[in-house]
Amino acid sequence: MRNAKQELKQIFQKRGREIRKYTISETGLDTEISSNGQSQSFSIPFEEIEFNETLITKKSGSKEIAFFISVAINLLLIGFLLYQNTSFIDGAAFSGMIIGVVAGLSVWAVQFFKKEKEKIIKGQQNLVFFYNKKEKDEVDWFLKELKSVQRNYIRKKYMKIDDLIPYENQEQTFYWMYSKKFISRSELEILFEELENRKIIRGR
């Protein structure tokens, strides 16, 4: 059984025939998506993950609505034709059958026309999460953990000066870290100051 810490590193979602699985790894996010019999797996480096969040509500389209109406009419029509052309179905049985069909269609309609919410994390590669009420807390906790792991990874990997890398490139990297809020302004100033000292020492 996975403990709470492990569960924060992975989220598994299923809606109908669509499955989404995200796993936080040491260097990024492992993604597995399956929909309508097709599946794909890929990894997203932490450097490419951004947190521009968008909430959307998906509704049934005109084609889906037309399909539902068509099925409902056909079922009722079949029942009526059976009643008209079969002596084995009396009025009471026909009424019971109609009630059953209507009840079944009502249950289907509730699911069919239900608004589905999704949270999209836009970046170089978008992340899409099912975000209905029962899924909201788990998604929010997972994203909080993803942000924390990403921040620690970026700081550990890039928050240092390497004399083998051109200083101009490192300046751009430090400013990128600051613009993405991986480091504070005071930390940026310290890095720039240390970088400038290295330039002076090495005569660059």
Q: Do 51 and 75 reside in the same domain of the chain? A: no
Q: Do 139 and 107 reside in the same domain of the chain? A: no
Quick one: pLDDT at residue 94? Answer: 59
What is the spatial distance between Cα 136 and Cα 55, in angstroms, rounded to a whole number?
11
Residues 6+ apart with CB under 8 A from 26: 153
Within-domain flag for 39: yes
Within-domain flag for 143: yes
- Per-residue pLDDT reduced to its tens digit, 10-49: 999 998 888 999 999 999 999 999 988 889 999 999 999 9
Q: Do 147 and 180 reside in the same domain of the chain? A: no
Instruction: Quote the number of domains for the chain.
Output: 3
Q: Do 19 and 31 reside in the same domain of the chain? A: yes
> What proportion of the chain, given as a percentage, has pLDDT over 90?
53
Quick one: pLDDT at residue 17? Answer: 84
- Per-residue pLDDT reduced to its tens digit, 107-161: 655 555 567 899 999 888 899 999 998 999 999 999 999 999 999 999 999 999 9
Overall size of the chain counted in residues: 204
- Per-residue pLDDT reduced to its tens digit, 167-179: 999 999 999 999 9
Within-domain flag for 185: yes
Q: Which domain holds residue 194?
A: 159-204
Q: Do 139 and 45 reside in the same domain of the chain? A: yes
DSSP string over 26-57: SSEEEEEEEETTEEEEEEEEGGG---EEEEEE
Within-domain flag for 196: yes
Within-domain flag for 124: no
Within-domain flag for 23: yes
Q: Do 47 and 142 reside in the same domain of the chain? A: yes
Sign of the Cα pseudo-torsion (167, 168, 171, 172, in order): negative
Supply the pTM of this predicted model: 0.72
Of the candidates 147, 141, 151, the residue with the CA atom closest to the CA atom of residue 184: 151
- Per-residue pLDDT reduced to its tens digit, 53-69: 999 887 655 556 666 56
Per-residue confidence band for 201, with pLDDT thresholds at 50, 70 and 90: confident
Quick one: pLDDT at residue 16? Answer: 80
Q: Do 100 and 78 reside in the same domain of the chain? A: yes
Q: Taking a C-beta distance cutoff of 8 angstroms, is the pair 59, 115 a contact? A: yes
What is the spatial distance between Cα 157 and Cα 146, in angstroms, rounded to a whole number?
16
Within-domain flag for 5: no
